[in-house]
C-alpha cells in the first residue's frame, strides 16, 4: 500500500511539474497580440505629459512584478499567490505582467488569471483585469 501511495505521489508531482514548467514565458502568439495592441495605450495617453521621456521609474522585471503582485493582491485577494510565477514582458514602455494558469491533469478548473499593464516611466497602471 505504501508503495502505491509513493508511486502515485511521484506520478502526480510529475504531471504538476510538466503543466507548470511551460507556463512562465509568454507564447509568441501572446507577444504578437500585445505588440499589436500596445499602440492602443499609447494613443489613449497622447495628452498625458511625462516631464522626461527618458525617465524610467520601474527599471527591472523584479520591481515590476513586485508592484504588480502588491496591487493584484490588494484587489483580487490571496488567490493571486497561486498564479506565481508571473509571466512578464516589456513592450515599448509598458510592463505586461500576467499570472500563470496551472492545470492539474484530470482535474477541471474554471477561471482565469490576473493581467496588469504598468507604464515603466512613471508606474501608472494602464490596465488591470482578472479573467480568461
Other beta carbons within 10 Å of 83: 21
- pLDDT of 90-110, one tens digit each? 999 999 999 998 766 665 566
Number of folded domains that form the chain: 1
The whole-model pTM stands at 0.65
- pLDDT of 36-66, one tens digit each? 887 776 666 655 555 555 678 999 999 999 9
What pLDDT is stored for residue 4 in this prediction? 45
Distance, CA of 45 to chain centre: 23
* Domain around 105: 2-131
Across the range 65-76, mean pLDDT stands at: 96
Amino acid at each position: 500500500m505504501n508503495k502505491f501511495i509513493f508511486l502515485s505521489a511521484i506520478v502526480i508531482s510529475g504531471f504538476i511539474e510538466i503543466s507548470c514548467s511551460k507556463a512562465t514565458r509568454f507564447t509568441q502568439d501572446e507577444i504578437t497580440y500585445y505588440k499589436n495592441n500596445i499602440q492602443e495605450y499609447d494613443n489613449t495617453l497622447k495628452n498625458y505629459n511625462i516631464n522626461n521621456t527618458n525617465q524610467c521609474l520601474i527599471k527591472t522585471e523584479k520591481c515590476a512584478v513586485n508592484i504588480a503582485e502588491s496591487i493584484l493582491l490588494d484587489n483580487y485577494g490571496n488567490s493571486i499567490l497561486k498564479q506565481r510565477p508571473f509571466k512578464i514582458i516589456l513592450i515599448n514602455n509598458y510592463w505586461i505582467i500576467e499570472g500563470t494558469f496551472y492545470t492539474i491533469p484530470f482535474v477541471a478548473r474554471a477561471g482565469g488569471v490576473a493581467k496588469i499593464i504598468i507604464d515603466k516611466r512613471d508606474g501608472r497602471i494602464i490596465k488591470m483585469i482578472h479573467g480568461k
